[in-house]
Structures are given as C-alpha cells and as structure tokens.
C-alpha cells in the first residue's frame, strides 16, 4: 500500500447523503439501486448479487430504511463490508427489496432505468404494491464523476503500479526485437501484479509495427522488429479503481516520419491536458487537442474521442469528445489520449490519467512522454 493512501477510508454514509439530496431534487422518496458498481460506491459491498434501497423520505431517519439485500453466499461478507446498514438475505434480492418498499409505503421509488431491463422492470411492477416506479437514470454516476480523496489515492496507487511495471520491462530488456506481442503483454501484466496492482484494469494492448495503427489491437504472436513502433495501452486496478496509460516506443533508430507523427501526437496531448480546467466544456477539451492534429492535415486519422472518465469503471462519465456535453468539475478523473493511425504502417497514441484541479490538472501517470528509443 502506497503511503499516500494510508489512513484514508471511503465515507459511504456521506456518499449516500449526497445521493439523497439528488433524490429530493428528483422528487422521489427512495432509489432502487441495482448496478453493482453503484452499490459498491454507496456501501463498499463487492459481491456479485445485491440490490440496495436508499431511502430519503425522512432525512433524520433515512439510514434506518436504507437496506441492502443479497443472497446467502454473502451473509458473512455483507456483515463485514456493510456493518452500518440493515442487510436482508434473499436469493431474489430485488423482489425482497421491492416488497419492503411496498410494506413501508414509500410512494415514489426511483430506479436505474439505464440499467434495468424491460423484463426486470416488469417484475418490479408486478411486485410493487402501492408504489410508483419512476425512471431516474444516472444519479449515482453523477456523484461518481467527482473523486473524493480516498478515490484519488486508489487511482494514484493503480497508476503507480503501471508506471513501475513499464519501467521494469525496459530495465530488464524485455521489450526487444524477436519477442512476440503476447510475450511482452504477459510480462507487463505480471509486473503490474508484482508492483502493487491487485487486478488488471482491462485487457492489455501491445501492438507492434503495422498493428500499432489499430487503436484497440489485441496482442498476437506478431514478432517485434527493429524499426517498429510498439504501442502499450495498459493499467492496473487497486481497490476497484482503474488506471489507464498509453505509451508508444520505437525499436531502434526512428525514421523521420516516426519522429514527425510522434511529435504531433505529443503536441496534441499537451494541448488536451492544458485544456483540463474546472468549467471547461468537454467538447472544447477535445477540440484543443484535435485541432492540433487537424491543422497538420491528419484529422481523419484521429478516429476516437480524446478521453473518458475513469474510476470504478475503466470507461465512465464524462466523455471527452466532439459530441460530448457538459462541463468539467474539479476532482473529475479523466484520460487524455489523442492518436494518429496510418493503416498498414503504424500509429502513435499517448495517454495519461489526470484529475481536474484549479490551477492545472494533477498528473497520475508519470512515465516520460518523450519519444523512447529502445536500442
């Protein structure tokens, strides 16, 4: 455990309190939370089956009728992870929670309409005697965008594991001609586990030569060769929080075109990071980086958004894209990852994870972004 998050603990009660304020704004008496990531955010529970009812009808006693339900496999786990809430044990967890809401005559009960299936909603209606079910999408996700100090500490630790892992591979000479993408990817993943990662944030990308022009290439038996770009997109997970970093290296002396495209992407990435400010629109942040590439005549080769939120999911709100809506708040964690991809030839992406702050973003991924030449 890194020193910067020793002693920090998540305040789940405060998170539920913030959610209750949103419930009041949306004129509902309770929220039926069925997304497991949102349940983890609000309670700390990490099992694979749970439903949470967050009550706010009487704010003075709201926790008394805030209840989590899971099945018998997690009886001990829910008692340990969620000691501050009433826990119900029932295999049909949603059914039991809806029954309780009906018994308590809660009135208007919101549900995560962006998560609940049509069949699940039909089941809720069949069980919801006296309740009015109200679609309330994205309320917990709205809270999750702004990271508290505990969350940032977990992100820092996850990013540090990735930084250390790539440095270890370079130091050992594990990235060299003759090795395959899969061999290098497995080495990188194992190094992340050895250096503080608890899990992989997502499937590791190692893409050499022409494969580096494929934005989400998966490692194959392709052999690294002198003269190749080698693109690494990878991250560790710590405490449920995901790191995300991309670096593009070159094996042997880089050619002129490689130096040019790398310098272009580096300039665009620098512009995108500089645009991360509280109050900035997400579309404007994307434009700050994209315009650099467009002015160089390669706009059509930047084929994805500039970045995305990161936290308990590897991709979460907000999205930094031309079509994105909304503005950034202080404390939002995002990636900035412009890329230029020449099909059949090679490509470059440079990506950092950062936290939006007054006075400039906090950088969490510290591996150098200068062109690294592996001899």
Q: How confident is the model over 209-234, as pLDDT tens digits?
A: 999 999 999 999 999 999 999 999 99
What count of other Cβ atoms lies within 10 Å of the Cβ of residue 54? 30
And the tokens for 57? 């009808």
Residue 321 and residue 299: Cα distance in Å, rounded? 14
Question: What percent of the chain shows pLDDT beyond 70?
Answer: 97
Place of tokens 């500089």: 274
Checking if the pLDDT of 2 tops 60, the result is: no
Residue by residue, DSSP assigns 175-189 as S-TT-BHHHHHHHHH
At residue 1, does pLDDT exceed 50? Answer: no
pLDDT for residue 6 is more than 70: no
pLDDT above 90 (res 123) = no
The CA-to-CA distance between both ends of the chain, in Å, stands at: 34
Query: What is the pTM (predicted TM-score) of this model?
Result: 0.94
Cβ neighbours of 7 (radius 10 Å): 8
Classify residue 358 by burial, with Cβ atoms within 10 Å: 0-12, 13-18, 19+: exposed
pLDDT digits (tens, 9 = 90+) for 176-217: 999 999 999 999 999 999 999 999 999 999 999 999 999 999
Lowest mean pLDDT among 45-59, 211-225, 354-368: 45-59
* pLDDT beyond 80 at 21: yes
pLDDT in tens, 140-188: 999 999 999 999 999 999 999 999 999 999 999 999 999 999 999 999 9
pLDDT at 58: 63
CA distances from 143 to 14, 53, 77, 268, 277 (A): 11, 17, 25, 30, 19
Cis bond before residue 318 (omega within 30° of 0): yes
pLDDT at 364 > cutoff 60: yes
- 75-96 pLDDT per residue, tens: 999 999 999 999 999 999 999 9
How much is the average pLDDT of 234-263?
Answer: 98
The 10 Å Cβ neighbour count of residue 221 is: 8
What percentage of the chain exceeds 90 in pLDDT?
88
pLDDT band at 62 (very low <50, low <70, confident <90, very high): low
Structure confidence by residue, pLDDT tens digits, 264-303: 999 999 999 999 999 999 999 999 999 999 999 999 999 9
Q: With residue 139 as reference, give the H or E element that holds it.
A: helix 139-144
């Amino acid at each position: 455990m890194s020193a910067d998050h020793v002693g920090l603990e998540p305040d789940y009660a405060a998170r539920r309190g913030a959610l209750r304020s949103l419930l009041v704004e949306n004129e509902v008496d309770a929220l039926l939370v069925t997304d497991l990531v949102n349940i983890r955010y609000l309670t700390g529970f990490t099992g694979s089956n749970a439903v949470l009812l967050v009550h706010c009808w009487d704010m003075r006693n709201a926790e008394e009728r805030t209840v989590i339900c899971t099945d018998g496999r997690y009886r001990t786990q829910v008692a340990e992870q969620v000691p501050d809430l009433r826990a119900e044990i029932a295999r049909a967890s949603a059914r039991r929670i809806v029954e309780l809401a009906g018994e308590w005559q809660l009135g208007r009960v919101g549900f995560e309409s962006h998560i609940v299936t049509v069949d699940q909603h039909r089941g809720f209606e069949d069980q919801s005697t006296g309740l009015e079910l109200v679609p309330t999408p994205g309320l917990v996700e709205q809270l999750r965008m702004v990271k508290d100090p505990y969350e940032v500490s977990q992100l820092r630790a996850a990013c540090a594991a990735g930084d250390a892992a790539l440095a270890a591979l370079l130091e050992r000479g594990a990235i060299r001609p003759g090795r395959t993408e899969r061999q290098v990817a497995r080495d990188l993943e194992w190094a992340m586990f050895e250096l503080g990662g608890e899990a992989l944030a997502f499937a590791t990308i190692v893409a050499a030569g022409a494969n580096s022009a494929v934005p989400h290439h998966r490692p194959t038996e392709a052999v690294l060769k002198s003269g190749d770009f080698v693109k690494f997109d990878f991250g560790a997970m710590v405490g449920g929080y995901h790191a995300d970093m991309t670096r593009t290296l070159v094996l042997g002396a880089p050619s002129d075109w490689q130096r040019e495209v790398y310098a272009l992407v580096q300039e665009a990435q620098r512009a995108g990071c500089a645009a991360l400010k509280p109050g900035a629109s997400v579309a404007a942040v994307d434009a700050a980086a994209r315009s650099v590439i467009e002015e160089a005549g390669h706009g059509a080769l930047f084929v994805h958004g500039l970045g995305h939120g990161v936290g308990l999911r590897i991709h979460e709100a907000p999205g930094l894209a031309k079509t994105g809506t909304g503005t950034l708040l202080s404390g939002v964690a995002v990636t900035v990852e412009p890329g230029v991809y020449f099909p059949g030839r090679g490509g470059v992406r440079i990506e950092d994870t950062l936290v939006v702050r007054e006075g400039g973003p906090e950088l969490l991924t510290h591996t150098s972004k200068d062109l690294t030449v592996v001899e």
